A and B are shown apart, each in its own frame.
Chain A
Amino acid sequence: MSTVLPPLDRALLEEAADLLMRLQSGEHPQAAEQAIAQWRQRSDRHEYAWQCAERVIHSFRQVPREIGRTTLSRLPQSERRRVLQMLGIAAVAGPLGLALWREQPWAEWSADLQTATGEQRTYTLADGTRLVLNTASAVNVSFDGTQRHLHLLRGEIMVTTGDDSLRRPFRVSSADGSIRPIGTRYAVRLEHGATHVAVFEGAVEITTRHGRSLRLAAGEQLRFSADVLESTHALDANAGLWERGMLLAQDMRLADWVAEIGRYRRGVLRCSGSIAELRVAGAFPLTDTEAALDMLTKTRPVRVRRLSNYWVSLDTAT
């Protein structure tokens, strides 16, 4: 392999920075050049540090000012946020209330199964269990001789448990607790600081991390956190339609609609406060959120403003 590069310590970089600034000041250019030439000769590390310094200057010289400025201005919002998202690091909850990712950053990253934003995937596991990952979701799968275990790190899954020939117990867990199915189809979704469960067939038994437990039957849904089991509600008939790539809205608040569609898009989708309470109805495609936005603007007095493809906000149509 190529030679191992000498490590550069901070003191060395600061000296190089001083020289760069001296060069850039334009005063006594010859003396500056001479000082640099001497400095470089002091050791291999000095020489290497100066090569780095030259690459810095060179990189900026290559890029026309306008292009550089515009490119950079298009980066920070989406780029920084996306890298954070990729790393699963909790973004600082700003005024937009960006989703918070709980859990350990690297765990999510190296999850066994995951989907990107806007993507859905269906898997059949070794025991015949059907697992659908909704948008921006991540799951670890561990099946061994004694258990079948899914750990939801992010997003939402729909599980239809298979009949295991080895009769190993099946369990889905999240940071908030665990869910044991009893011959069933159900969805588990991580929300801000809680886990939401909806049962479509059969039943499940929920145990929170702090040991409270409850049985949830088909047609029921509830939220729970590590220590609280919220009350049970009847399941919205359309709740499972995401599995088929559809959002069916009936008298839905626009703010809720935006939050839901936003889960399937990269970047930021928001709506102004003045239209948050508008009601939305219709069937919207989750697989094509641009089409969904298009449908919305055709049926409601709403206008789409694009600051960039990654920053879209909805406002009153004028």
Chain B
Amino acid sequence: MSAGDIIQTNDIESLYSGHHGWLQGWLRRKLGCDEQAADLAQDTFMRLFGRRALTLDQPRALLTHIAKGLVIDHWRRQEVERAYLEALANMPEPHAPSAETRYLILESLYRIEAMLRGMPDKTREVFLRAQMDGLTYAEIAEESGMALITVKRHMKAGFVACMAALA
């Protein structure tokens, strides 16, 4: 790694002092919440510093680029949480998992949503029949009228998309 590949400590300090306030203000406008803005501003800088080979000609453009990704994640998580709570509320039988179980389920749901995002509809459905509903590939083939090899093709594409989303 050459010296140009990493940010020097004094760069970090000047970046932080020069742009942190501005970034937090920008995030506050997006989120309408001081506390969340402060958290995400912090995360943004952590990610920035974790990067290699940075060009720092336009630090604010890079900061907003990173921060946007974090804001989108933040909103997506809110959507998933909302859907989960609605699902819980709509279960036919009263369903009150412990706080810890809820946390684990929610974390998994965030990941699942991220993995399924962008998956073509057919692949997604085949994949969910297997992973969520527990059907065998043969059962999916029979149910859907697809050839077994087609089901397998969708499964493979599904797994690849999932791993790529997590990597």
Choice from B29, B133, B136, B156 contacting A14 with Cβ under 8 Å? B156
**In contact, A52 and B90 (Cβ under 8 angstroms):** no
Q: Does B3 contact A (CB under 8 A)?
A: no
Interface string of B67-97 (1 = CB under 8 A from A): 0100010011001100110111011000100
**In contact, A67 and B166 (Cβ under 8 angstroms):** no
Task: Given A1-B49, A75-B80, A110-B68, decide whether A10 and B116 contact each other with a Cβ distance below 8 A.
Answer: no
Q: Does A21 contact B (CB under 8 A)?
A: yes
**In contact, B72 and A56 (Cβ under 8 angstroms):** no
Q: Is the interface of A mostly helix, strand, loop or mixed?
A: helix
- Whose C-beta in chain B lies nearest to the C-beta of A60? B131
Choice from A25, A62, A79 contacting B137 with Cβ under 8 Å? A25
- How many interface residues does B have (CB within 8 Å)? 49
**In contact, A59 and B72 (Cβ under 8 angstroms):** no
**In contact, A14 and B87 (Cβ under 8 angstroms):** no
- Whose C-beta in chain A lies nearest to the C-beta of B137? A25
Q: Which residues of A contact B147 (CB under 8 A)?
A: none
**In contact, B132 and A60 (Cβ under 8 angstroms):** yes
Bound CA span A52–B61, Å: 31
Q: How far is the CB of B163 from chain A (nearest CB, A)?
A: 4
Bound CA span A71–B85, Å: 8
A-B contact pairs, 30 of them (CB 8 A): A1-B49, A14-B156, A17-B159, A17-B160, A18-B156, A49-B167, A53-B163, A56-B115, A56-B159, A57-B131, A59-B108, A62-B104, A62-B105, A62-B107, A63-B108, A63-B109, A65-B134, A67-B87, A67-B105, A68-B109, A68-B132, A71-B86, A74-B87, A75-B79, A79-B113, A82-B79, A83-B76, A106-B68, A110-B64, A114-B29
B residues at A contact (CB < 8 Å) = 29-30, 32, 49-50, 52, 64, 68, 72, 75-76, 79-80, 83-84, 86-88, 90-91, 95, 104-105, 107-109, 111-113, 115-116, 128, 130-134, 136-137, 152, 155-156, 159-160, 162-164, 166-167
